[in-house]
Amino acid sequence: MPSNVSYGQKASWGLTLAAWGGLLFLHVPILIIFLYTLTPDETTYTFPLPGITFKWFGVALQRADLWRALTLSLQVAAVATIVALVLGTLAAAAVYRSQFFGREAVSFLLVLPIALPGIVTGIALRTTIGSLEIPFSYWTIVVGHATFCVVVVYNNVLARFRRMQGSQIEASMDLGANSFQTFRYVIFPNIATALLAGGMLAFALSFDEVIVTTFTAGQQTTLPIWIFSQLTRPRDRPVTNVVAMFVMLITFLPIFFAQKITAQSADTEGGSK
């Protein structure tokens, strides 16, 4: 239990230990995957590693099924992000600039896909696709992803709007700019980094989403679905290690920069995924 409570004092060693222990617990497991990409062992997860090899990186690069899955995931994430950017920004602008009946309901509706367990969204879309006899396609995946990506952009952009000086817009109008010019020269530069941060988070979210995708992909394989199939029925353990590390790194960068951007502009999104 902590012995110091007032701000500015040093934390007790017990608290410090518990805090850093929690932090290690959050991050060490990922490093274990990095370690295992080097194992020569194909059939088990033996530790300590029986040796060191770099051949699995080469093997993974040769796999056509992985390239197909990666391409599909990137395409889906790109389109879902664009849809989320457009819809999220529109909704944020509407909620920011006007008071209207049901304004609270808008936020609620947008946050619902991430507040409810992912399986609800997944099975709901699956049932709809089945009932309306829509064939599974690239677009069924995109539509599913966009539902939960919109709120990410919405939160980021709305937070930025709220910190923006309303007087800037008035000044722009007073100086004779029309609405489109005001948007182009005043509003857009203000929200640009929020769009970037929201877009990157939406991309990362879509790129490694698996729960909703399982229900909307049909027979198609995105990269997360490929990993999931390896989780339940491991066939290519070493290659899976390499893919897992790759996915971690490719999502790390956009998330890290999005966090930096939001930390710098002191927005407080991210608390609710």
Instruction: Figure out which of the listed residues 85, 244, 261, 267 binds other proteins, where binding follows CB under 8 A.
Output: 244
Distance (Å, rounded) from C-alpha 232 to C-alpha 239?
15
Instruction: Figure out which of the listed residues 113, 198, 199, 238 binds other proteins, where binding follows CB under 8 A.
Output: 113
252 near other proteins, judged by CB under 8 A: yes
83 Cβ neighbours under 8 A, 6+ residues apart: 142, 146, 149, 150
Interaction with other proteins in 28-67: which residues (CB under 8 A)? 29-30, 32-33, 36, 44-48
Q: Given the rule CB under 8 A, which of 22-30, 66-74, 160-168, 187-195 is the region that contacts other proteins? A: 22-30
Question: Please, which residue, 32 or 61, has the CB nearer to other proteins?
Answer: 32
CB of residue 250 vs other proteins: minimum separation in angstroms? 9
DSSP reduced 3-state for 269: coil
CB-based burial label for 216 (10 Å; 0-12, 13-18, 19+): buried
Distance (Å, rounded) from C-alpha 67 to C-alpha 252?
20
Residue whose tokens read 């490719």 = 250
SS3 content of the chain, % helix, strand, coil (to 5): 75, 0, 25
Interaction with other proteins in 120-179: which residues (CB under 8 A)? 120-121, 123-128, 130-131, 143, 146-147, 150, 154, 178-179
How far, in Å, are 74, 147, 265 from residue 258 at the CA level?
18, 20, 11
Question: Please, which residue, 165 or 272, has the CB nearer to other proteins?
Answer: 272
Question: Please, which residue, 78 or 90, has the CB nearer to other proteins?
Answer: 90
CB of residue 257 vs other proteins: minimum separation in angstroms? 11
Size of the site for other proteins (CB under 8 A): 100
With contact defined as beta carbons under 8 Å apart, do 207 and 73 qualify?
Answer: yes
Residue whose tokens read 């990157």 = 200
∠ CA(151), CA(272), CA(10), 5° rounding?
A: 150
76 near other proteins, judged by CB under 8 A: no
CB of residue 87 vs other proteins: minimum separation in angstroms? 4
Interaction with other proteins in 197-226: which residues (CB under 8 A)? 201, 204-205, 208, 210-211, 214-215, 224
Question: Please, which residue, 26 or 52, has the CB nearer to other proteins?
Answer: 26
With contact defined as beta carbons under 8 Å apart, do 179 and 251 qualify?
Answer: no
Question: Please, which residue, 43 or 62, has the CB nearer to other proteins?
Answer: 43
